[in-house]
Amino acid sequence: MQYYSELVLPRIIELACGSKRLVDWRKLATDQLFGRVAEIGFGSGANFGLYPSSVSKVIAVEPSRVAMRIFDKKMARQNIQSEVDIVRLRASAIALPLKDASFDCVLLSFVLCSVGDSATAMAEIKRILAPNGKVVFVEHGLAPTLGVQKVQFAFNRTEQRVAGGCQLVLDAKLIISNAGFEVSVIKTGYGPGPRPWGYMTVGVGVLS
């Protein structure tokens, strides 16, 4: 199982999350970013290339060494030079080795579902955000349609087992609001792929 989660899963995530059909959803979130950004659960860098010019620095926080290696290989293969100053940090959202109030924005993309203790992760995010900082998110989660919800609850446990703890039934807006942020939703709806995996919310949270 360790072999699967450490070596195989990051490659599956790269295929699933790297889909070009997600780019428009991602851009709705990344367009909100500015200044110093901490991207939590950077994965293999699916948002890389979508940061606007208003971003001055990105700290890419990711616990998986393999995901980071996939990112490095992609960069080398495509001979991409980053226009943004990007620093990688192997760490978990629930214990961020980052200074208090040191970021203008935190980006969460398809990661709240996997962090496990989302309340602790949100407390950490709150700690590292500067006053007037924003948490920007694009997340999949609990669908509003009853039939889809039934499938989500039915598959939730299996999903957690095969997809690194990923939950299908979380409500990102609620998790972020419960952490003390005032959340503005930019867009919700079904994205590409099967509906139980594809109900998306894009939004921005500011400290209230």
Ligand X SMILES: C[S@@+](CC[C@H](N)C(=O)[O-])C[C@H]1O[C@@H](n2cnc3c(N)ncnc32)[C@H](O)[C@@H]1O
> Which residues ranging from 115 to 144 are in contact with ligand X (CB under 6 A)?
115
Give me the phi and psi of 176, to 5 degrees please. -75, -40
Q: How far is CA 117 from the centre of its chain?
A: 15
Options 67, 98, 105, 168; binder of ligand X; rule CB under 6 A: 67
Give me the phi and psi of 58, to 5 degrees please. -125, 125
Nearer to ligand X, 1 or 146 (CB): 1
Strand 35-40 with 103-109, pairing: parallel
Nearer to ligand X, 64 or 167 (CB): 64
Task: Confirm or reject binding of residue 63 to ligand X (CB under 6 A).
Answer: yes
Q: How far apart are CA 208 and CA 96, in angstroms?
A: 22
Options 33, 62, 137, 173; binder of ligand X; rule CB under 6 A: 62
Tell me how far, at minimum, the Cβ of 201 lies from ligand X, in Å.
14
Which SS3 state, helix, strand or coil, does residue 136 take?
strand
Q: What token pair was written down for 208?
A: 């209230």
Options 25, 110, 137, 181; binder of ligand X; rule CB under 6 A: 110
Nearest CA among 205, 191, 197 for reference residue 26: 191
Nearer to ligand X, 13 or 148 (CB): 13
Binding site for ligand X (CB under 6 A): 13, 17, 40-43, 46-47, 61-64, 67, 92-94, 109-111, 114-115
